[in-house]
Structure 1
């Protein structure tokens, strides 16, 4: 009777393969299940933003410092030196310098520029044909958390950009033309700076998700220039009482409330808006543009 012999090693190899497969199955079964939290994921996304910001630190710093440096040099140093412009005559006799008015205005301008640029320009690149935003959308968090992270990153850049104004204006001015800052309410200053930076970042998120990236440069030219020139940067809002229609018209400009809030906190001796109106506009504007920005961001990512 013929017997069938099994080649040597086949049974052993089959047994080893089954054992390896069983070991892998056990490892998969016993592996810890990851439980990502909103806070951890949000922190990881912010850490990535800071790494990118650190790599681009020189260009970011130059972009943040050039505008206040040039304005302070021209208005607080050159014009007083040549005896022209604000800071001479009756204004100088009263002790009011243009740099005193310029500090809150420049800070408001930096909030607008840094907050909007810091939020909108990354979105333009991420929503380009490469669609790198899809990599971020794979994070185990709702899309709205990614939108809030974008607002937070832009607000931090705006806050830093506005803070740079202080040393620039203090160092760059003609003799006797330095700013007279009197902070009597630090809580008010912190609240105005936080809500101003968050408001501009929310506006940047909204613009970056509703405007065609190819038209973004035109939008910035149309939006930033009027907001800055009519945002009470170079004059307090109360000084517009002689042009009553303009004083009422500029109330639709969110930058007015930023600069007026900073004047209330930094130079309370200069006339400014009522605090309730300032905080109502800043808090309400942050809520409205934050909602619009988060909704349009989600629609853009999902669509």
Structure 2
């Protein structure tokens, strides 16, 4: 068995063993969908003629997937480094690529399951999401979004040494970004200066790309531009991740 396969198997077994984490990984974003979906049920965004669910569902889905990708890798790297697991792995022929690649495949799997579950709930009559014919194009946007936020998570996990520090830094990134990127409320309701700030946040492009694909709020150009932006964030944070990655707390 290759190092990549062994680490992927180990990651999977460790994940399913922690049933509480598994439950809340999938339930947490659904709670937001249910709350916002019921609050704004049947209402339309003023001036757009579109239902709130068309904004809320793609936005909260993007935030939930991005949140899981960032937190998952950040906590794992911090814990493995503190327990000297990374140091032991380094003494084998295993490369950094195998370590991060195993986590990446796990994050993609979690993201896909989250998306299927989330969209399935949003399609229920009580919420009323209607999928556009372009919905399969949400998959490449989802993949690029997971990749971008996994890269950010590597940076967070490499520069923090305690669970409390990971939670503080990751929440400081994800919570403001959720509101500033339009995950919970349409960007059109925000002041123009906040809309401009959102242009430097990767979650905005994940939101817009998935929204365009799922609900038809945009064409192929819109999806392509947002995908390109996510790829650009991946390159930037990927390079930073390589620079900051540590095998141990002493390195």
TM-score (norm 2): 0.85
Maintained 8 Å contact 2:53/2:129: yes
The 1-side partners of 2:88 and 2:44 are apart by: 60
Among residues 202, 211, 226, which one is paired with 1:263 in the alignment?
Answer: 211
For 2:177, the equivalent position in structure 1 comes to 227
Distance 1:301-1:191 versus aligned 2 partners, 3 A rule:
farther
For 1:64, the equivalent position in structure 2 comes to 25
Maintained 8 Å contact 1:203/1:289: yes
How many matched pairs? 250
Distance 1:89-1:195 versus aligned 2 partners, 3 A rule:
closer
Q: Which runs of 5+ in 1 are unaligned?
A: 1-35, 81-86
Maintained 8 Å contact 1:151/1:202: no
Runs of 4+ in 1 over 6 A off after TM superposition: 270-273
Give 1:280-291 correspondences, 5 Å limit: 280-291=228-239
Maintained 8 Å contact 1:180/1:267: yes
Question: C-alpha root-mean-square deviation of aligned residues, in Å?
Answer: 2.9
Maintained 8 Å contact 1:236/1:271: no
The 1-side partners of 2:4 and 2:55 are apart by: 39
The 1-side partners of 2:86 and 2:197 are apart by: 38
Maintained 8 Å contact 1:143/1:298: no
Maintained 8 Å contact 2:60/2:183: yes
For 1:167, the equivalent position in structure 2 comes to 120
For 2:43, the equivalent position in structure 1 comes to 88
Give 1:1-303 correspondences, 5 Å limit: 40-56=2-18, 58-80=19-41, 87-88=42-43, 94=49, 96-128=50-82, 130-171=83-124, 174=126, 177-184=127-134, 186=136, 188-213=137-162, 214-237=164-187, 239=188, 243-269=191-217, 274-298=222-246, 300=248, 303=251
Distance 1:55-1:104 versus aligned 2 partners, 3 A rule:
same
Q: Which runs of 5+ in 2 are unaligned?
A: none
Larger Rg: 1
Maintained 8 Å contact 1:156/1:197: no
TM-score (norm 1): 0.72
Q: Which has the higher contact order (CA 8 A, sep 6+)?
A: 2
Distance 1:77-1:273 versus aligned 2 partners, 3 A rule:
farther
